[in-house]
Amino acid sequence: MILGGVNFGMTIPGLYVVEKFGRRSSLIVGGLWMFVCFLVFASVGHFALTNEDGTTSQGAGYAMIIFACLFIAGYAMTWGPIVWSVIGEIYPSRYRAKAMALATASNWTWNFLISFCKPDSSSSSSSSSSSTFLPVFSLLLFLVHPFFANKKP
């Protein structure tokens, strides 16, 4: 409930952020924000969550909840809404409906695959599965800069 509330509540300020700073700047800052939050989340989960005696640390759990909320806030203000407007604008009118359908189907497919495979990846490896997404965020940062003009909607 908390994470859903953060996602919903931060989408509206995201409209102001995009209008004020433009798409490219918002995507780059949002990608950096998510990268840092995920880095802290994965590090705390891997190094500080479990104590020497096998119990879990309550402070580390709270830190992980806070950084999960900060990650979702950054996503809801930048990558969440901006990507859909960019996808809607990059295709010519003749192909837009089919291309948007393909993009939406791809989004739903990858969301399913990630959520379906994540429990297996986190239980089968000794390292935190959250750290596997860190290279993805760093790659997205480098892809945004050359391919997006800093246009305001």
Asked if the structure places residue 27 within a domain, the reply is yes
In a domain, 152, yes or no: no
Query: Over 90: is that where the pLDDT of 76 sits?
Result: yes
Asked if the structure places residue 99 within a domain, the reply is yes
| b/e per residue 31-53 (b: at least 16 CB within 10 A) | bebbbebbbbbbbbbeeebeeee
Distance CA 64, CA 3 (A): 12
- For the chain, the domain total comes to 1
> In this structure, how many other beta carbons lie within 10 angstroms of the beta carbon of residue 87?
16
In a domain, 151, yes or no: no
Give the range of the structural domain holding residue 62, as residue numbers without chain letter: 2-145
Residues 122-138 have pLDDT tens digits of 454 444 555 566 677 67
In this prediction, residue 125 carries a pLDDT of 43
pLDDT above 70 covers what percent of the chain?
Answer: 80
Tell me the mean pLDDT in the region 81-91.
Answer: 84
153 within domain boundaries: no
- Residue 123 resides in a domain: yes
CATH number, domain at 137? 1.20.1250.20
